[in-house]
């Protein structure tokens, strides 16, 4: 069963602009989770637990692949900066 598509917008405050670091806001995560039954969590740029360290490592490696294979990956690059990837 495919997940329901959710339209999120910078204008409604559900996503951050590329200049602001990309990614979803708390409002956007709440709307997405409610619509799809998911459990998206906020970014973990400075992980406090082992689980968050694993999430950061996984996210950074996944986004590095997106950036390397895409011609225009500004949102991915901005989200990697927000997560402190490469540090």
Q: Note the Cα 84 to chain centre separation in Å.
A: 12
Tokens representing 54 are: 């694993």
Instruction: Say if CB 66 and CB 78 are below 8 A apart.
Output: no
Residue-wise pLDDT tens for the chain (87 aa)?
Answer: 556 678 888 888 888 888 877 888 999 999 999 999 999 999 888 999 999 999 999 999 999 999 999 888 898 999 899 899 986
Distances (CA, A) of 36 to 13, 39, 43, 53, 65: 19, 9, 19, 25, 26
Instruction: Say if CB 58 and CB 2 are below 8 A apart.
Output: no
């Amino acid at each position: 069963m495919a997940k329901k598509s959710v339209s999120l917008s910078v204008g409604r405050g559900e996503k951050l602009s590329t200049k602001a670091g990309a990614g979803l806001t708390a409002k956007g995560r709440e709307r997405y989770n409610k619509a799809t039954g998911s459990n998206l969590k906020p970014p973990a740029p400075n992980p406090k637990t082992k689980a968050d360290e694993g999430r950061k490592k996984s996210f950074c490696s996944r986004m590095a692949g997106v950036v390397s294979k895409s011609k225009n990956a500004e949102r991915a690059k901005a989200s990697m900066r927000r997560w402190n990837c490469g540090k």
